[in-house]
Amino acid sequence: MAPIDPIDTYEQALAFLHSRINYERTSASLSATDFKLDRMRHLLDRLGNPHERIPAIHIAGTKGKGSTAAMMSAALHRCGYSVGLFTSPHLEHFEERVQVNGRCIDPNSLVRLVRLLAEVTRRIDAESPGLNPTFFELTTSLGWLYFIQERVDVAVLEVGLGGRLDSTNICRPEVCIITTISRDHTLVLGTRLSEIATEKAGIIKDCVPIVSGVLAPEARDVIEHIAAQKSAPLTQLTRDFSYDVTDAEETFGEARRRVSVCFLSANASTEQENLELALLGRHQAHNAALVAAALRVLRQRSWCVPKPACREAIAAVQWPARIERVRSSPTVILDAAHNWASVGALLKTLAEMPCSGRRCLIVSTTKDKDSAGLLRRLLPHFDIVIVTQYVTNPRAIPASELQRLAATITTRPVHVATHPAAALTLARSLTTPHDLLCIAGSFFLAAELRPLLAVTDWE
């Protein structure tokens, strides 16, 4: 076997992970053939199958799965469970992907576990051609190993892409959640909602309860069919439960919303649960209702998840770059919206925000997205537009190309900045304290600008 570079430091550990094929960063077109579970099963088997020792909450969906995972993790931890949380991608630090009880994996554990993964990977590369682990498969395995080390009671897993062939889909779930379904990653998941729903519904396991927030009839029918095939009890939004949302009074300048979730029982009686949210956007009520439904399923499965503790935890959840208000005067909103559905949720939220001045947008997009469609939806809602490109990922569309696209959509001037930092500097010069600045279009743009926003002086 070929020697491997030593892994003694945090930097060496990350360098090894990033040396593996990484579909989050590749600029090549992807297809379904790039994803398979054989590699993940083989890797986990070499590691002693840690995923079989921890029950999971598995969450898929086109949008909302990260926020849903954060609320579920917080609720279970407040109820006394030790909870592992696996999400992707990360915003500022790799460790954000793997957390236990709200704390990221520590650097020493990361180095030690990656060293183990590197040794196993070296053996697989030499002995099992075609089963070479990818970046995401190794990262998912890192999560499982850390959760075993920390002796968690349950793991909350956010699907990376799709569901059926995602590396998180090798788990032992207590309940699965599908948040929403809309068009995204069409080269991999398909162009029709029924095709996408089939991929997302791939997380449904035999006899394991599934909670679905999917409303589009074409996708909903697929989920109902697959759940029935697998004898998986289905709790479906609008059929088995519903929710209402109302605005609450602002507390310390932060708007909160009250969510009333109503469950319909078999005997037509109803059960209501009231929640409060600090997360911005009415769409978060949808996610919170799914969490409430999943927690109800866990209670039915004898989990100790008291409603008061769950309410307290959900009310306190903050989730960065999900319509995150990072400052006022001017109001600055940071969002990772990158598909039609998430941009729609962002625009609805922005429409509810008071703004006596102009609205400014910083936007960049990714090569495998419907960039023209996103711009068509975004641009009419802003007075000032700055197109840019993130620099840490080769999937970025050049700012000059975005400018050409924008020119076919709007007659307003479109400013160009070839670097996110330059875009932020330009936005500072063009906005006043009465204006609103929104940053959207890509998770990678949000990741690059969030730390800069924390140190930017607007005066």
| HEC assignment per residue over 283-340 | HHHHHHHHHHHHHHHHHHCCCCCCHHHHHHHHHHCCCCCCCEEEECCCEEEECCCCCH
Asked if the domains 10-234 and 324-455 are classified in one and the same CATH topology, the answer is: no
Q: Return the structure tokens found at 283.
A: 């769409």
Helix, strand and coil content of the chain, in percent to the nearest 5, comes to 40, 20, 40
Per-residue pLDDT of the chain (459 residues; tens, 9 = 90+): 455 678 999 999 999 999 998 877 654 444 445 568 999 999 999 999 999 999 999 999 999 999 999 999 999 999 999 999 999 999 999 999 999 999 999 999 999 999 999 999 999 999 998 899 999 999 999 999 999 999 999 999 999 988 999 999 999 999 999 999 986 544 445 568 999 999 999 999 999 999 999 999 999 999 999 999 999 999 999 999 999 998 765 543 456 789 999 998 776 668 999 999 999 998 999 999 999 999 999 999 999 999 999 999 999 999 999 999 999 889 999 999 888 888 999 999 999 898 999 999 999 999 878 899 999 999 999 999 999 999 988 889 999 999 999 999 998 889 999 999 999 999 999 999 999 999 999 999 999 999 999 888 876
pTM, two decimal places? 0.91
CATH number of the structural domain 324-455: 3.90.190.20
Tell me how crowded residue 455 is: count the other CB atoms within 10 A of its CB: 6
Domain layout of the chain by residue ranges: 10-234, 324-455
CATH top-level class of 10-234:
alpha beta
Judge whether 252 and 216 are in contact, CB under 8 Å.
Answer: no
